[in-house]
């Protein structure tokens, strides 16, 4: 009985997985909490272009400088966890903000 129930659940999950559309099915947005033309921006743009070619979907880059990176980082943290908003951070943002602010929202 348990084996039959397990097999039925597996078959149902296959149907659910096939019903979902393939990722990505729309433009992927990248938030960069740094100024356009910064070192990270210049390095990330060709990477984003290649990622877009490999995924078959456009990847946009939105520069959101200000607040030592807090503005852009907050937007990334508040976005839905569905994989269509990415963050492009440098090491100082990743090490500074958690030590300066208790909670990033």
Q: Of 21 and 94, which is predicted with more confidence?
A: 94
Task: Find, among 74, 86, 67, the residue nearest to 28 by Cα.
Answer: 86
Enter the DSSP assignment of 105: -
What's the confidence (pLDDT) of residue 3? 45
Q: Average pLDDT in the 68-91 region? A: 91
Mean pLDDT of 3-19: 49
**Residue-wise DSSP of 6-30:** HHHHHHHHHHHHHHSPPSPSSPEEE
- SS3 state at 55: helix
Give yes or no for a cis peptide into 100 (omega within 30° of 0). Answer: no
Does 80 have pLDDT greater than 50? yes
Dihedral (CA of 7, 13, 18, 23) sign? negative
Note the Cα 71 to chain centre separation in Å.
16
| Structural domains in the chain plus CATH codes | 23-100 (3.40.190.150)
Mind listing the pLDDT tens digit for each residue in 18-43? 556 788 999 999 999 999 999 999 99
């Amino acid at each position: 009985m348990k084996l039959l129930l397990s097999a039925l659940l597996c078959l149902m999950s296959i149907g659910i997985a096939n019903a979902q559309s393939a990722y990505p099915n729309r433009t992927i947005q990248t938030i960069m909490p740094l100024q356009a033309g910064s070192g990270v921006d210049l390095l990330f743009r060709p990477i984003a272009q290649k990622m877009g070619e490999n995924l078959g979907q456009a990847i946009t880059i939105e520069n959101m400088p200000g607040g030592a990176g807090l503005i852009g980082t907050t937007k990334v943290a508040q976005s839905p966890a569905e994989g269509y908003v990415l963050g492009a951070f440098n090491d100082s943002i990743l090490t500074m903000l958690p030590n300066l602010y208790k909670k990033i929202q």
